[in-house]
Amino acid sequence: MADHVQRFLDFIAKSPSAFHAVKHICDALDANGFTPLCESAPWALVPGGKYYVTRNRSSVIAFAVPETGFAHFQIVSSHSDSPAFKLKHICEDEAAGGCYLRLNVERYGGMIMSSWLDRPLSIAGRVLVRRDGKLTTRLVDLARDAVLIPNMPIHFNREVNDGYAYNAQVDLLPLYGGRESKGLLRAEIARAAGVEEDDILAQDLFLYARTPGCVWGARNEFFSCPRIDDLECAYASAAAFLESPAVGHINVLAVFDNEEVGSSSKQGADSTFLTDVLTRAGTALGASDSDIRAAIAASFMASADNAHAVHPNHPEKYDAQNRTVPGGGVVIKHNANQKYTTDAASCAVFSSLCALAGVPVQHFANRSDMPGGSTLGNIANRHASMNTVDIGLAQLAMHSSYETAGCADIAYMVQALTALYTHDVVMTADGTFEIA
């Protein structure tokens, strides 16, 4: 358990952006013998092969083919992105009559804004650069305490503790330098990318919180760090996937970008990415169109995105029975209006897998008078429709720049997803499930 927490905190430290998170997942796939495939080239696949595909370098789908035929796919999906501030294309901005250089940023996703103030921040993402007459991508991480968003002193903002409404274009622009700092950010980004300033053509760069992760609590039962939603599930699903041989079905690991902004990008869960990969994998392995449709219909997916743990100071905001705690095991999420895909069938299958793995299960539903959040399971199902369960791990302070979860849970999720990948979940024509 401690092992997984430490490894997860290491993963967070080296994954300041979705691009970095996906790169480190791909590095682990490379180290485990997976072959990268290119979407714009033909695929030649073999039984027993292990492959992965990236889109935009911020989403990745990996799959492992069994040696002896396959009847369906078993998929775990999660997301690589977290709420943050994105630098605008032209971002250097002299402030207070030239006393300071600040950066012009906009919100990416729905963050708790106050959690980004008065703490060291840095900048990471990717730049497109001109090299040898070509345009190529470089990942960038300034990897130092480089910027900070200062609060107003309380003396000039007496209502700050009475529900102050932060204005994203006024209150949340980070400070980068003093007088005569103009041009230094561009130079620093070029240095970090290993190119000349003039070679940088475009950027997808984000602020990230630098506060290191920590383990804490009376019995060290909690850990806190940035981007727990949803890199905790991305980490746990990758760990389970890499340890699980595929038998009887194709195992699939899917990590999508842009969940925090509705998933509708070319690399999001609301794109053709998953269906393209499943269809092309099936075709390259000799399956007919009809075989592939049958395989997708018989497939099972766990949509893994974190859940809300009951808040110690606001238990009244949570359903009295269907509430969860950090460290209490894997959460199955339910919603009558199908914001979560879970139904009796997928809940029964997934809880049976957890029972086989000896993993405790908790159930989450919102209070009936509270709208909940949404996630990627029902969105992915618009494209590849199959039995799907929405799951996650219980966390506090979702979408804060520094979130909190339970130390015991990462190992529970790895065990539960290992059970999903290693057992064959077979749905027969009459809707009966057999777990082999």
Binding residues vs Co ion (CB under 5 A): 229-230, 305
The token pair at 82 is: 């977290």
Our CB check for Co ion shows the closer of 229 and 409 to be 229
Count of CB atoms situated within 10 Å of the CB of 429: 6
Starting from the edge strand earliest in sequence, which strands make up the sheet with 214-216, in order? 214-216, 222-225, 403-406, 394-396, 307-308
φ and ψ at residue 329, rounded to 5 degrees: 110, 180
CB of 374 to Co ion, least distance (A): 9
CB of 132 to Co ion, least distance (A): 39
CB of 238 to Co ion, least distance (A): 16
CB of 82 to Co ion, least distance (A): 8
Our CB check for Co ion shows the closer of 305 and 390 to be 305
Our CB check for Co ion shows the closer of 11 and 176 to be 11
C-alpha distances in angstroms, 41 versus 36, 44, 53? 11, 10, 11
3-state secondary structure at position 411 = helix
Asked whether the beta carbons of 335 and 377 are under 8 A apart, the reply is no
CB of 269 to Co ion, least distance (A): 11
Q: How far apart are the first and last CA of the chain?
A: 27
Q: What is the DSSP letter of 309?
A: P
Our CB check for Co ion shows the closer of 305 and 403 to be 305
**Which residue type is seen at 406?**
G
Our CB check for Co ion shows the closer of 83 and 282 to be 83
Nearest CA to 51 out of 26, 69, 72 is that of 26
Asked whether the beta carbons of 260 and 81 are under 8 A apart, the reply is yes
CB of 79 to Co ion, least distance (A): 6
Residues 47-70 as b or e (16 or more Cβ within 10 Å = b):
eebbbbbbbbbbbbbbbbbbeeeb
Strand partners, 215: 223
3-state secondary structure at position 83 = coil
Our CB check for Co ion shows the closer of 348 and 370 to be 370
Please give the Cα distance from 215 to 222 (Å, whole number): 6
Our CB check for Co ion shows the closer of 50 and 227 to be 227
Please give the Cα distance from 423 to 245 (Å, whole number): 10
Please give the Cα distance from 179 to 290 (Å, whole number): 66
Report the sign of the C-alpha dihedral through residues 239, 243, 248, 251, in that order: positive
The token pair at 344 is: 């009796």
177 CA to centre of own chain: 32
CB of 109 to Co ion, least distance (A): 9
CB of 363 to Co ion, least distance (A): 18
CB of 4 to Co ion, least distance (A): 19
Our CB check for Co ion shows the closer of 109 and 360 to be 109
Our CB check for Co ion shows the closer of 16 and 392 to be 392
